[in-house]
């Protein structure tokens, strides 16, 4: 109710503002109605829903980030589209806003979907295939349902609509139609053009996140029609200033749109100039080919450019680079228990039990960013060996390896880096800022931001899920026990879906009446082990480093587990 009133308030606040500035779009048709497109005045090639207003006013808003690095593998935020809530991953490594639409055939049933028919906004449209927003000469792809007179790509699902197809380097995709509706983010609102997903591949789907919100530059958002990224659309609409900052922790974080949030930094910002491609695509910075590990420099010949990408869980390097790093570790850090076993546990995204005293023996990694070494990005062992959620004592190597790097990038700085540094994406001044983050920028997370059992119970241990009201709130524990109908942690059996409360209630009653805690523990242990096994990654490529493998003590490092990193692939622009 509160949020409804809040939202209504916003609408009343914004509608008069919007009404003045909107030059109404042309030849756009409402979704799923077979009316012929109406034509009106022509508009310039660029989508222009707004005239910029009050360019000098600094506009900022701070929003919650949900998710976590080893729990969810990504960070997401809640936005409203046409007044309807959707959870979108914040991805500074791509540029498209894509959301599941109500009619989506293969999207996850748990997805929160956007229903254009229920939109509360006058801006709601599906872009017609004959509208000039739908880019001409794009119909070469066999993925188009039809071609317009100008050779624009019409959607497979509806030949009157402009096609949308987002593809990533691993072949995962989402496709549908180009749509327009009002997007509300915190307290800002503007109509945006985005991709409505009507079908997607299994590997695009995420259990807790419905869509994706790309925050990089426009050249990555041609699917095949080029659309300005939503943040840029909002900047041009004059509702927000052209920079943002991100702070993440193991559990959630904060995103400030429009500025750097000083309250999240404990050191001053250091800036590195962006080495943007032409046209700009990723948030790229030059990187020195010297990587400092402990007190030695390791030369990595391929290192030239790196990108900062909130949509990538770990640091990503090529397999060759990883082998160089591993080789260096095997030469100099065999005093870390098990590191020089054959095979070493120091493998991409591997998780092992690692006591604090062993962690301390590991070196600090320093990446030198900027052509003039503007910034030394220091990653201590506690930064790049990530504590594993749900496995006390386990740490995961926060680096992963790809066979080949894409997009002119030699290293991707993902969430591993971003949970140590608050980053300022200073687009206006074409630079990236880094400052050490204050402890727990995510501790301000409000449990009511979570809506589903899994995200509430799994991702945020301080929150409890209420089976009856289906809400999430601060966990009120006595003696570490959260009484039914509230539940927290893996024991909530969220994977069972609607049966979870029944099963849970039954178990709880049974246990409290008859059996000792031992059986509960056993059930929980069995359950969580099964869940964990399901989530396990395939065995990574093994690295054979000949010669200098040394055997020290016989700790049990033989069977490492792996963190499941997300999207390390780049969006593939449509030809």
Ligand X SMILES: *[C@@H]1O[C@H](CO)[C@@H](O)[C@H](O)[C@H]1NC(C)=O
Active site residues: 91, 309
Which one of 9, 45, 55, 517 is in contact with ligand X (CB under 6 A)? 55
Tell me how far apart the alpha carbons of residues 252 and 90 are, in angstroms, rounded to a whole number: 12
**Contact, 107 vs 99, CB < 8 A?**
no
Q: Is 528 in the site for ligand X (CB under 6 A)?
A: no
CB atoms within 10 A of CB 1: 5
Q: Is 389 in the site for ligand X (CB under 6 A)?
A: no
Q: Is 188 in the site for ligand X (CB under 6 A)?
A: yes
Tell me how far apart the alpha carbons of residues 404 and 317 are, in angstroms, rounded to a whole number: 8
Tell me how far apart the alpha carbons of residues 342 and 549 are, in angstroms, rounded to a whole number: 6
Q: How far is the CB of 295 from ligand X (least distance, A)?
A: 7
Which one of 209, 226, 237, 275 is in contact with ligand X (CB under 6 A)? 275
Nearer residue to ligand X within complex by CB, 207 or 327: 327
> Going residue by residue from 224 to 263, which x/- string records binding to ligand X, judged by CB under 6 A?
----------------------------------------
Which one of 38, 446, 476, 512 is in contact with ligand X (CB under 6 A)? 446
Show the beta-strand stretches assigned E in 380-480.
385-387, 394-397, 399-402, 411-413, 421-426, 431-436, 463-466, 471-474
Nearer residue to ligand X within complex by CB, 62 or 251: 62
Which one of 110, 289, 302, 371 is in contact with ligand X (CB under 6 A)? 371
* CA gyration radius, the chain: 25
- Strand, helix or coil at 553? coil
Q: How far is the CB of 332 from ligand X (least distance, A)?
A: 5
Tell me how far apart the alpha carbons of residues 273 and 370 are, in angstroms, rounded to a whole number: 7
According to DSSP, the residues that pair with 352 across neighbouring strands are: 395
Show the beta-strand stretches assigned E in 82-158.
84-91, 97-100, 125-127, 146-147, 153-154
- Strand, helix or coil at 331? helix
Nearer residue to ligand X within complex by CB, 95 or 184: 184
**Contact, 393 vs 355, CB < 8 A?**
yes
Of the ranges 60-68, 309-317, 378-386, 419-427, which one interacts with ligand X (CB under 6 A)?
60-68
Tell me how far apart the alpha carbons of residues 246 and 335 are, in angstroms, rounded to a whole number: 36
Q: How far is the CB of 28 from ligand X (least distance, A)?
A: 26
Nearer residue to ligand X within complex by CB, 286 or 574: 286
Nearer residue to ligand X within complex by CB, 122 or 371: 371
Nearer residue to ligand X within complex by CB, 69 or 369: 369
Q: How far is the CB of 240 from ligand X (least distance, A)?
A: 9
Tell me how far apart the alpha carbons of residues 313 and 309 are, in angstroms, rounded to a whole number: 9
Q: How far is the CB of 2 from ligand X (least distance, A)?
A: 6
Nearer residue to ligand X within complex by CB, 70 or 241: 241
Residues binding ligand X: what is the number (CB under 6 A)?
A: 19
Tell me how far apart the alpha carbons of residues 252 and 258 are, in angstroms, rounded to a whole number: 20
Nearer residue to ligand X within complex by CB, 335 or 469: 335
Q: How far is the CB of 449 from ligand X (least distance, A)?
A: 7
Q: How far is the CB of 362 from ligand X (least distance, A)?
A: 9
Q: Is 335 in the site for ligand X (CB under 6 A)?
A: yes
Q: Identify the DSSP state of 453.
A: H
Q: How far is the CB of 78 from ligand X (least distance, A)?
A: 11
Q: Is 451 in the site for ligand X (CB under 6 A)?
A: no
Q: Identify the DSSP state of 232.
A: H
Q: Is 307 in the site for ligand X (CB under 6 A)?
A: no
Tell me how far apart the alpha carbons of residues 333 and 330 are, in angstroms, rounded to a whole number: 6
Which one of 167, 286, 312, 574 is in contact with ligand X (CB under 6 A)? 286
Which one of 28, 31, 60, 385 is in contact with ligand X (CB under 6 A)? 60
Q: How far is the CB of 209 from ligand X (least distance, A)?
A: 20
Q: Is 361 in the site for ligand X (CB under 6 A)?
A: yes
**Contact, 264 vs 441, CB < 8 A?**
yes
Packing angle of the helix pair 500-513, 517-535 (nearest 10 deg)? 150
Which one of 47, 49, 62, 66 is in contact with ligand X (CB under 6 A)? 62
Q: Identify the DSSP state of 79.
A: E
User: Helix, strand, coil: what percent of the chain each, to 5?
Assistant: 20, 30, 50
**Contact, 401 vs 348, CB < 8 A?**
yes
Q: Which residues bind ligand X (CB under 6 A)?
A: 2, 55-56, 59-62, 187-188, 273, 275, 286, 332-333, 335, 361, 371, 446, 448
């Amino acid at each position: 109710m509160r949020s409804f009133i809040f939202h209504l308030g916003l609408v009343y606040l914004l509608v008069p503002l919007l009404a003045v500035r909107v030059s109404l779009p042309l030849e756009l048709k409402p979704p799923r109605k077979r009316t012929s497109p109406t034509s009106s005045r022509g508009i310039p090639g660029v989508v222009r829903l707004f005239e910029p207003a009050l360019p000098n006013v600094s506009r900022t808003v701070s929003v919650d980030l949900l998710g976590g690095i080893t729990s969810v593998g990504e960070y997401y935020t809640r936005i409203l589209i046409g007044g309807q809530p959707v959870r979108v991953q914040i991805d500074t490594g791509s540029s498209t806003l894509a959301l599941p639409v109500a009619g989506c055939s293969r999207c996850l049933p748990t997805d929160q979907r956007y229903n254009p028919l229920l939109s509360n906004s006058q801006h709601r449209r599906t872009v017609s295939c004959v509208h000039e927003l739908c880019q001409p000469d794009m119909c070469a792809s066999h993925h188009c349902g039809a071609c317009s007179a100008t050779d624009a790509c019409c959607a497979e699902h509806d030949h009157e609509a402009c096609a949308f197809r987002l593809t990533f380097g691993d072949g995962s995709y989402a496709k549908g139609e180009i749509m327009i509706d009002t997007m509300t983010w915190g307290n800002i609102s503007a109509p945006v053009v985005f991709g409505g997903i009507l079908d997607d591949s299994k590997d695009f789907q995420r259990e807790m996140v419905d869509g994706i919100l790309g925050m990089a530059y426009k050249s990555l958002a041609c699917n095949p029609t080029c659309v300005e990224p939503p943040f840029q659309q909002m900047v041009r609409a004059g509702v927000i200033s052209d920079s943002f900052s991100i702070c993440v922790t193991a559990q959630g974080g904060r995103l400030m749109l429009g500025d750097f949030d000083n309250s999240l930094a404990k050191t001053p910002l250091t800036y590195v100039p962006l080495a943007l491609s032409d046209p700009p695509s990723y948030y790229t910075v030059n990187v020195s080919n010297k990587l400092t590990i402990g007190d030695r420099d390791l030369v990595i010949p391929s290192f030239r450019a790196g990108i900062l990408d909130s949509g990538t869980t770990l640091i990503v390097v090529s397999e060759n680079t990883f082998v160089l790093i591993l080789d260096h570790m095997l030469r100099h850090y065999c005093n870390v228990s098990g590191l020089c076993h054959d095979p070493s546990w120091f493998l991409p995204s591997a998780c092992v039990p690692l006591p604090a005293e062993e962690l301390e023996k590991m070196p600090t990694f320093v990446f030198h960013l900027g052509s003039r070494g503007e910034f030394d990005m220091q990653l201590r062992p506690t930064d790049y060996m990530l504590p594993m959620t749900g496995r006390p004592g386990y740490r995961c190597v926060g680096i992963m390896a790809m066979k080949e790097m894409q997009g002119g990038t030699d290293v991707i700085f993902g969430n591993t880096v971003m949970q140590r540094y608050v980053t300022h994406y200073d687009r206006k001044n074409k630079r990236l800022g880094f400052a050490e983050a204050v402890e727990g920028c995510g501790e301000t997370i409000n449990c009511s931001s979570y809506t589903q059992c899994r995200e509430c119970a799994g991702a945020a241990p301080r929150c409890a899920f209420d089976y009856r009201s289906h809400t999430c709130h601060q966990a009120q524990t006595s003696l570490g026990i959260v009484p039914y109908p509230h539940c927290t942690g893996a024991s909530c059996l969220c994977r069972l879906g609607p049966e979870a409360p029944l099963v849970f209630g039954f178990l709880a009653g049974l246990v409290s009446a008859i059996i000792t805690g031992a059986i509960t523990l056993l059930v929980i242990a069995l359950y969580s082990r099964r869940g964990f096994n399901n989530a396990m990654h395939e065995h990574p490529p093994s690295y054979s480093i000949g010669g200098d493998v040394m055997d020290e003590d016989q700790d049990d490092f033989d069977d490492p587990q792996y963190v499941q990193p997300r999207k390390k692939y780049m969006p593939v622009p449509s030809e």
